Amino acid sequence: MAQGQRGLRNSTDNHHKLSAKFPVDPAFSRKQKIAEHRKSLPIASVEKRLGDEVRNNDTLIIVGETGSGKTTQLPQFLFNAGFCGDGKTIGITQPRRVAAVTVAKRVAEECGVELGQRVGYSIRFEDVTSFSTRIKYMTDGLLLREALLDPYLSRYSVIIVDEAHERTVHTDVLLGLLKNVQKARSKCFNDRLNIEKKKENNGTLSDKDNGIFLKQCQGRKFPPLKLIIMSASLDARGFSEYFGGARAVHIQGRQFPVDIFYTHHAEPDYVDATLITILQIHLEERPGDILVFLTGQEEIESVERLVKERLQQLPEGRRKLLAAPIFSALPSEKQMRVFAPAPAGFRKVILATNIAETSVTIPGIRYVIDPGFVKARSYDPVKGMESLIIVPTSKAQALQRSGRAGREGPGKCFRLYPESEFEKLEDSTKPEIKRCNLANVILQLKALGVDDILGFDFMEKPSRASIVKSLEQLFLLGALTDECKLSDPVGHQMAQLPLDPIYARALILASQFNCLEEMLITVAMLSVESIFYAPREKLEEARTAMKCFSCPEGDHLTLVNVYRASNEFLEKRTVGLSKEKNEKILRKWCKENFINSRSLRHARDVHSQIRGNVEQMGLRLASCGDDMLQFCRCLAASFFLNAALKQPEGTYRALASGQVVQIHPSSVLFRAKPECIVFNELVQTNHKYIRNITKIDYLWGKENRELAFWVSGCPCHGYDIVELL
Ligand code: CDP
Ligand code: MG
């Protein structure tokens, strides 16, 4: 419109002059581009039909190839079709934080509204919604938490479970829960209709009906819940059967041919092979962006640095390659960078975790590099041990990845392994619920009133052994009573905290033993990826820098030192400065101290969120000052399931699992090798490394009771653990 008016007022034959004098408003042209893009999506032609399908079916399964417009368009279609009447909201769950954030931003822009108003998102530690939010993107874990406060999920008219094929543990639990919520809401709705009919016919109600009416229906004036399960994989049968033969519809996508290339031999170092392939494509192939699948933040950041270094070795004219990372912990404003087109003449290389497999679609990709690995959770229910391991992808994942190269035109995919290896891959990935510790999920289900965990209607049941092991762990942490009910207050408090049960326990204990301030920092710092970074070429410098923070008790208090040092620095140096200046100065400080500034910033955000949580719960926030022992005891009493004893040859034996493990070289205790330690995580590469370690003393508990000793030694733990194990 604005442009049309200009055209009228400045009517001239010379269009070039006109546009030079009155350049097209960039915001207007972007709006127009977005509108055109929306219209061109495969899903656009079936808007009306989809609305009808949702109206006619309480549960609907939608299958559509990645990039067809499911995530960004369907909620808008439903909003336009009137599914948000009566102030109700459409909720869309995503397995990943990054997807929830980037998609919400995109959709807010498409709708021309401010983010957090009609369109918003909510993820753990970050809520960008308001009273007027009608389209709400969130993580599946977050919706589970909402159900704790509102068991009928009454603010939602429609819930869309997106990326259901990923089968994360939260998605699986959510599906079971939503099935129940849907039934309960339909029952309420029908009861209400029946009673209202009776009232109309008889004029009055019997005492019984009146009772039901008051008890069941009042204050719950919600319509039945519409449930939509969206998936990128073509196999909808499993979901349909689980929902009693629910209707499934398919949205046709657009896919151009993709040439697949394999290596002749297995690559000994896939990071190096990735780097070589990136540069080869950049130097030899036609224009088009590159998408690389890596396993995590650390790997992505190291490839990002290496790409920059290698570019410096090229002639000036050939350096036009921009690296753009995307992973969960990346601050949200930076996540959007991958979607922006590269400047003219430049090629973009996007370094992504498997988030870019189906959750987010990045435009402009013509080349995919797939080293063939993914970081996955793995759980051994016998040993009660969960670890993150790097494993080969499944065939389904490899196909999804290569498909990303053929969205806008013919593309190429470089698999960095021999073709014979592809044939050996599993067809599809095992649902996460079958390979993770269930303590967190069980705690939440219990808080939701689901006591019979073994009888819960899971789409695929986790093994009995892993349920029992997780129940045991919760019992040991003091969250469950002898009857396996949530304990009061500890179990209920633990369920309220959006944290791993061990962390939740640590915070509650710390509040009783005057060290919550230190524990809060610890938990925040442990909730983000690696705080320290040590580039290969500056290893010694990085080690020296780390020593300034290092605490002889271990890594946890070392992390506390880093956090406090950053605070002190900020307090001294940034009085009266703008937020941007503030951040710039902090980034410089981080660089000088070999600290990962992204991780530290994320930890600061997490800290302020959990602080809000514990304050709300009325936990006492105090510092132990110089009494480190108090802190270490609390750590031992909550991390006792991850305790290890030194072996004669210098390795460690994890007490709960019996596994032989080694201290990771990045730990401040790597050389000191104390007798007895607790650790945070087990990372399996060629070795079984434990990371984030604190020295403890087994005399803190009764002797020879292995697992029990420091637990029962902690004054607040009353259970006899040995009998249980
Ligand atoms: O969910 P599905 O994979 O079917 O597609 P989508 O995520 O809704 O994406 C539809 C289109 O929007 C794709 O062409 C994306 O490239 C585009 N999109 C974008 O340009 N920027 C975003 N932040 C998200 C999506
Ligand atoms: Mg999607």
ipTM: 0.99
Confidence of residue 708 (pLDDT cuts 50, 70, 90): very low
Question: What's the average model confidence in pLDDT over 297-314?
Answer: 91
Ligand 1 atom with minimal separation from the 105 CA: 23
Question: What's the average model confidence in pLDDT over 101-130?
Answer: 95
Contacts within 8 Å (CB) and 24+ apart, 587-590: 590/566
Tell me the CA distances in angstroms from 316 to 303, 511, 699, one per residue in order.
Answer: 21, 58, 64
Ligand 1 atom with minimal separation from the 358 CA: 3
Is residue 6 pLDDT above 60, yes or no? no
What is the structure's pLDDT at 221?
A: 64
Question: What's the average model confidence in pLDDT over 292-307?
Answer: 92
The response to whether residue 68 sits with its C-beta less than 6 Å from ligand 1 reads yes
The response to whether residue 361 sits with its C-beta less than 6 Å from ligand 1 reads yes
The response to whether residue 64 sits with its C-beta less than 6 Å from ligand 1 reads yes
Is residue 5 pLDDT above 60, yes or no? no
Ligand nearest to the CA of 339: 1
Is residue 11 pLDDT above 70, yes or no? no
The response to whether residue 253 sits with its C-beta less than 6 Å from ligand 1 reads no
Topology agreement, domain 31-190+220-251 and domain 258-430: yes
In the numeric block, which tokens belong to residue 103?
């998609």
Sorted by where each begins, the domain ranges of the chain are 31-190+220-251, 258-430, 497-701
Question: What number does CATH give the domain 258-430?
Answer: 3.40.50.300
Sheet architecture: strand order including 347-352: 258-262, 411-415, 365-370, 289-293, 347-352, 321-326
Confidence of residue 610 (pLDDT cuts 50, 70, 90): very high
What is the structure's pLDDT at 214?
A: 60
Q: Which of 106, 361, 404 to mutate to test the pocket of ligand 1 (most atoms within 8 A of CB)?
A: 361
Question: What's the average model confidence in pLDDT over 701-720?
Answer: 37
**Euclidean distance between the first and final Cα of the chain, in Å?**
73
The response to whether residue 103 sits with its C-beta less than 6 Å from ligand 1 reads yes
Ligand nearest to the CA of 161: 2
> What does the pLDDT look like over 414-446, one tens digit per residue?
999 999 999 999 998 889 999 998 999 999 999
Across the chain, mean pLDDT equals: 86
Question: What's the average model confidence in pLDDT over 627-641?
Answer: 87
Is residue 547 pLDDT above 80, yes or no? yes
**Residue 675 CB neighbour total at 10 angstroms:** 12
Is residue 721 pLDDT above 50, yes or no? no
What is the structure's pLDDT at 445?
A: 93
31-190+220-251 adopts what CATH topology?
A: Rossmann fold (3.40.50)
What is the structure's pLDDT at 122?
A: 96
658 Cα: distance to centroid of ligand 1 (angstroms): 47
The response to whether residue 363 sits with its C-beta less than 6 Å from ligand 1 reads yes
What is the structure's pLDDT at 284?
A: 95
Confidence of residue 193 (pLDDT cuts 50, 70, 90): confident
Distance CA 75, CA 162 (A): 11
In the numeric block, which tokens belong to residue 26?
């960039």
In the numeric block, which tokens belong to residue 44?
């656009």
What's the pTM?
0.83
Of residues 533 and 169, the one with the higher pLDDT is 169
User: How large is the angle between the packed helices 628-639 and 501-512, nearest 10 degrees?
Assistant: 140
The response to whether residue 624 sits with its C-beta less than 6 Å from ligand 1 reads no
Closest by CA to 267, choosing from 373, 399, 396, is: 373
The response to whether residue 339 sits with its C-beta less than 6 Å from ligand 1 reads yes
Distance CA 289, CA 458 (A): 41
Distance CA 113, CA 111 (A): 5
What is the structure's pLDDT at 725?
A: 24
Ligand 1 atom with minimal separation from the 65 CA: 4
Contacts within 8 Å (CB) and 24+ apart, 456-461: 456/176, 457/176, 457/179, 457/180, 458/172, 458/173, 458/176, 458/433, 459/167, 459/172, 459/175, 459/176, 459/238, 459/239, 459/242, 459/431, 460/172, 460/431, 460/433, 460/434
Question: What's the average model confidence in pLDDT over 83-102?
Answer: 93
Give the percent of the chain with pLDDT over 70. 89
Confidence of residue 215 (pLDDT cuts 50, 70, 90): low
ω into residue 501 within 30 of 0, thus cis?
no
Three-class SS of 454-504:
CCCCCCCCCCHHHHHHHHHHHHHCCCECCCCCECCCHHHHHHHCCCCHHHH
Is residue 216 pLDDT above 60, yes or no? no
160 Cα: distance to centroid of ligand 2 (angstroms): 11
Ligand nearest to the CA of 43: 1
